[in-house]
Structure 1
Amino acid sequence: MKILVISDTHGDTDKAEEVIRSYRDIDLIIHLGDYFRDAQKLAALFPQIPMEYIYGNSDFMIGDVVAEKTLRYEGKIIFITHGHRYSVKWDYDKLHKKAEEINADLLLFGHTHVGDKVEKNGYILLNPGSISDPREDSGRSYALVSICCGKIETEIVCV
């Protein structure tokens, strides 16, 4: 299974659309918030690819959209959150606690607009950065996640 992970599009989906079109083998897209309506737009543009999304701190009038989800794919537990509720701009302590609490294999988050990956105690914390609005000279980025044969492989891709 191949998953494209994006975050923090903030109303600009041009680069996300370009990236999605460049892959023919994506099984799932995950959007980590800011703005979840961008995820809905992308889902309408690419109805053949399932989409999971949550809201972020810059999303308003959210209706029934949730702030976080626990997903299960290929026998792996994937937790998705925007990150603002976990104080990710200061440290990842709350994320580590959450991953251990739910026995996550992969915890995906955004909010900082800077890609990052941390492996610890058998799980991975992964921030794809922002595909539309990068910060700290990080450049635009997204992440690819591959789940195969019981293993998770991840990559942050700069565009």
Structure 2
Amino acid sequence: MKVLIVSDTHRRDENLLRVIQENKPFDMLIHLGDSEGSEKKIESWLDEGCELHMVLGNNDFFSDLEREEEIKLGSYRILLTHGHYYNVSLGVERLEAEAMERNIQIAMFGHTHRPFYEVHNGIIILNPGSMSYPRQEGRRPSYMIMELDEQGEAHFTLNFLDKE
């Protein structure tokens, strides 16, 4: 199974369209918030049968997206959140505590516009960065690919968009 993980597109969707086209086929797209009204457009870009999971970001003012979502992939329980309710800009401790309390193995968040991948007490905590307004050194748009191998183990790859 192949999963494309993105966040913080902020209605500047051309990078996301490019990433979708370059990484097809994949089985699921996870968007971790701040799509700012592009939900239907993004959904229209996906192949038939591709699952879409999107959560509410702090800039998704008129959206009916859920604040967060729990999904199951293989043996993993995964928490999808934008992260602002957990103060992720200050650290991932609150998100980690929430994941532990809910028996989550992978917690995915956005909001900071910086890629992040760490394992805390056996919980994978990750942020794919921003597709539109990256804030890390080098400021290159980023996204992650999650692949479940034949044994059901998750592998993650952080990818950066080159300037065209």
TM class, shorter-chain normalised? Answer: over 0.9
Number of the residue aligned with 1:158: 160
Partner Cα separation in structure 1 for residue 153 and residue 36 of structure 2: 29
2:142 is the counterpart of 1:141? yes
Counterpart of 1:20 in structure 2 is 20
Mapped contact 1:36–1:55 kept (Cα < 8 A): no
Identical-pair percentage: 32
Query: Deviation at 1:120?
Result: 2.0
CA distance in 2: counterparts of 1:5 and 1:94, whole angstroms: 22
What letter matches 1:44 in structure 2? S
Structure 2: any 5+ residue segments left out of the alignment?
Answer: none
3-state SS in 1 of match to 2:8: coil
Residue 30 (structure 2) pairs with residue 30 (structure 1): yes
Does the CA-based 8 Å contact 1:36-1:54 persist in structure 2?
A: no
Q: Which residue of 2 aligns with 1:70?
A: 70
* Equivalence map 1:47-66=2 (5 Å): 47-48=47-48, 49-63=50-64, 65-66=65-66
Structure 1 residue 36, shift from structure 2 partner: 5.1
TM-score using structure 2 length: 0.91
- Structure 1's unaligned 5+ residue stretches are none
Count of residues in Structure 1 that have an aligned counterpart in Structure 2: 158
Q: CA deviation at 1:44?
A: 1.4
- Tell me the SS of whatever aligns to 1:124: strand
Provide the alpha-carbon RMSD of the alignment: 1.3
Deviating above 2 A after TM superposition, structure 1's stretches of 4 or more consecutive aligned residues are: 36-40
- What is the rounded CA distance, in whole Å, between the counterparts of 1:28 and 1:36 in structure 2? 20
Q: Is the 8 A contact 1:43 1:50 kept in 2?
A: no
* Shift in Å, 1:47: 4.3
Alignment of 1:106-121 (within 5 A): 106-121=106-121
**Distance across 1 between alignment mates of 2:97 and 2:40:** 30
Q: Give the Cα separation in 2 of the matches to 1:150 and 1:44.
A: 29
In structure 1, what residue type is equivalent to 2:108? L
CA contact (8 A) 2:87 2:94 kept: yes
SS at match of 1:37: coil
Aligned positions of 1:78-117 closer than 5 A: 78-117=78-117
